[in-house]
Chain A
Amino acid sequence: MFNYRFQWNQAWKRLPEMLDGAVVTMQVAVLSMVIGILLAILLTLFRRSGSRILSGIATTWVEIARNTPALFQIYMAHFGLAGLGLHLSPYQSLLLGITFNNAGYLAENFRGALKAIPDTQPRAGRSLGMSDLQAFRYIILPQMIRISFPTITNQMVWAVLMTSLGVTVGMNMDLYGVTQDLNALTFRTFELFAMAAVIFYVIVKIIQAGAWLISRRLFRY
């Protein structure tokens, strides 16, 4: 049918290097999620603060993150900030771009989740002598995280997939970057990227299975 000869050996030999790349990919994804969740909580507090300036900052952030391409956000972190004299490494640019995106999407979801928690909940906490912040931390936040858990899982998957965009700002340590460099050496494009695809797929499935296990342990109520 076709005379292309697959050379899977070529790709198979490169598996260790690609797995090293996968570790970097996971590292960026996890870091961007941890920081992204914390920032999203902060943005959520900003939007609840009643301060015009703070909620303005939060809303601008959320809308830019949701209404422009992730790749644009990474370009902004790399080329845009460079235009302002702040030169970030490819790794930093990628991390910053994905984190910005994560925080925006999660903050919007958190806002929806908060609507599902009645005002009487923090009020009950305050009537027990808790401060506003304590009521948020111990009563609202855990319930919010539960409601948002599926979205957090999805965003984690997105974060992994978004790491592939780092190559556009010169990142070459992550799974996609490593694959790209190997491709330049061997020209076995299909085999190499097919293998990268399989690795990405496995990572995503592990994340989804892990999230399922965590939700079963954590949310028994």
Chain B
Amino acid sequence: MIEIENVRKSFGALEVLKGIDLTVSKGEVLTVIGGSGSGKSTLLTCINGLEPIQAGKITVDGIEVHAKSTDLNKLRQKIGIVFQQWNAFPHLTVKENVMLAPRKVLKQSKAEAEAMAVKQLTHVGLGDKVDVYPGRLSGGQQQRMAIARALAMSPDYMLFDEVTSALDPQLVGEVLDTLRLLASEGMTMICVTHEMKFAREVSDRVAFFHQGVMAEIAPPAELFGDPKDPNLQQFLAATH
């Protein structure tokens, strides 16, 4: 379970999260929507401790993320994150990209890591690309590789930060399909996204962020069907 209590986060004088309260339970798929600068992506990087917070508390399975005593490297093994930019390691083949963290962080044997890598890559539909260098893959394929790379750590939670935003339109579908697959398998996921159709279909709940505040949170039918927050109404009108 991920519990977020009154989290505040600033970059210098700019406050991007103004007291967020949110709980995501096991097996839930939460999508976060909102305009740019609403703080939705920042929340993800705070959850896995890549960014410090100024106030409040985030706990993952009872472990406080920003406590001094927390071993962040260990915690991050539980929480996979995939970014807008897929950040493929260009000097490693697709398979080696996926194997690297399991081998060096989890100290798996080569055979073990390789089996896991092939399994996850096949899972995201890249079974025939394992020995290729990422430079020869399309953006969509590289993004799916990045998902497999995060999954190979056997995380309990997956965070997706606008994973389709940097893709050509015709490549968006294959990546969303991969996310749908994970959702259907019961993975706990937080997806920051601009894909409203996707949010409507796969989410258990949808949260709308506006200027650092979580303005509304509800199951998709309710949030899209009967938006109460005026900013949300405006946002939805603009995206249609």
Q: Is the pairing of A and B real? A: yes
Q: Show the binding face of A for B, using Cβ within 8 Å.
A: 118, 120-121, 123-131, 134, 138-139, 142-143, 146, 219-221
Cβ contact within 8 Å between A221 and B91: yes
What residues of chain B lie closer than 8 Å to A120, measured between beta carbons?
A: 83, 85, 87
What residues of chain A lie closer than 8 Å to B115, measured between beta carbons?
A: none
Q: How far is the CA of A210 from the CA of B106 in the complex (A)?
A: 37
Cβ contact within 8 Å between A126 and B90: no
Q: Which residue of B lies closest to A218 (CB)?
A: B91
What residues of chain B lie closer than 8 Å to A138, measured between beta carbons?
A: 100, 104
Q: Which residue of B lies closest to A134 (CB)?
A: B104
Cβ contact within 8 Å between B87 and A128: no
Cβ contact within 8 Å between A128 and B89: no
Q: A121-B89, A138-B100, A221-B133 are in contact. Are A128 and B50 (CB under 8 A)?
A: no
**B88-104: which residues lie under 8 A (CB-CB) from chain A?**
89-91, 100-101, 104
Q: How far is the CA of A99 from the CA of B192 in the complex (A)?
A: 51
- 10 tightest CB-CB pairs across the interface, nearest first? A124-B87, A128-B101, A221-B133, A129-B77, A129-B76, A129-B105, A142-B91, A127-B81, A120-B87, A129-B73
Interchain nearest-CB distance for B121 vs A (Å)? 15
Q: Which residue of A lies closest to B86 (CB)?
A: A124
What residues of chain B lie closer than 8 Å to A129, measured between beta carbons?
A: 73-74, 76-77, 101, 105-106, 153
**B32-90: which residues lie under 8 A (CB-CB) from chain A?**
48, 50, 73-74, 76-77, 80-81, 83, 85, 87, 89-90
Listed A/B pairs (10) with beta-carbon separation below 8 Å = A120-B83, A125-B89, A127-B50, A128-B153, A129-B77, A129-B153, A130-B73, A130-B101, A146-B91, A221-B134
Contact of B50 among A121, A126, A143, A219 (CB under 8 A): A126
Q: Beyond the given A121-B89, A125-B100, could you list 8 further A-B residue pairs with CB under 8 A, ordered by the A residue number?
A: A123-B50, A124-B83, A124-B146, A127-B50, A127-B80, A127-B81, A129-B101, A221-B134
Cβ contact within 8 Å between A221 and B81: no
Contact of A123 among B87, B106, B146 (CB under 8 A): B87
Chain A CB count within 10 A is highest, among B74, B77, B100, B149, for: B100
Q: Which residue of B lies closest to A145 (CB)?
A: B91
Cβ contact within 8 Å between B91 and A126: no
Tally of contacts, chain A with chain B, CB under 8 A: 64
Q: How far is the CA of A13 from the CA of B80 in the complex (A)?
A: 69
Q: Which residue of A lies closest to B159 (CB)?
A: A127
Q: How far is the CA of A221 from the CA of B81 in the complex (A)?
A: 25
What residues of chain B lie closer than 8 Å to A123, measured between beta carbons?
A: 50, 87
- B173 within 8 Å of A (CB atoms): no
Interchain nearest-CB distance for B108 vs A (Å)? 12
What residues of chain B lie closer than 8 Å to A125, measured between beta carbons?
A: 89, 100-101
What residues of chain A lie closer than 8 Å to B134, measured between beta carbons?
A: 221
What residues of chain A lie closer than 8 Å to B48, measured between beta carbons?
A: 127
Q: A125-B101, A129-B101, A221-B133 are in contact. Are A139 and B85 (CB under 8 A)?
A: no
Q: How far is the CA of A219 from the CA of B48 in the complex (A)?
A: 33
Q: How far is the CA of A25 from the CA of B235 in the complex (A)?
A: 72
What residues of chain A lie closer than 8 Å to B89, measured between beta carbons?
A: 121, 124-125, 139
Interchain nearest-CB distance for B79 vs A (Å)? 8
Q: Mark B200-238, 1 if CB is under 8 A from A, else 0.
A: 000000000000000000000000000000000000000
Cβ contact within 8 Å between B87 and A134: no
- B135 within 8 Å of A (CB atoms): yes
Cβ contact within 8 Å between A130 and B105: yes
What residues of chain B lie closer than 8 Å to A118, measured between beta carbons?
A: 87
Interchain nearest-CB distance for A156 vs B (Å)? 21
Chain B CB count within 10 A is highest, among A127, A139, A143, for: A127
Q: How far is the CA of A126 from the CA of B101 in the complex (A)?
A: 9
Cβ contact within 8 Å between B50 and A130: no
Q: How far is the CA of A40 from the CA of B104 in the complex (A)?
A: 24
What residues of chain A lie closer than 8 Å to B74, measured between beta carbons?
A: 129
What residues of chain B lie closer than 8 Å to A134, measured between beta carbons?
A: 104-105
What residues of chain A lie closer than 8 Å to B81, measured between beta carbons?
A: 127
Chain A CB count within 10 A is highest, among B100, B101, B106, for: B101
Chain A CB count within 10 A is highest, among B87, B106, B146, for: B87
Q: Which residue of A lies closest to B79 (CB)?
A: A127
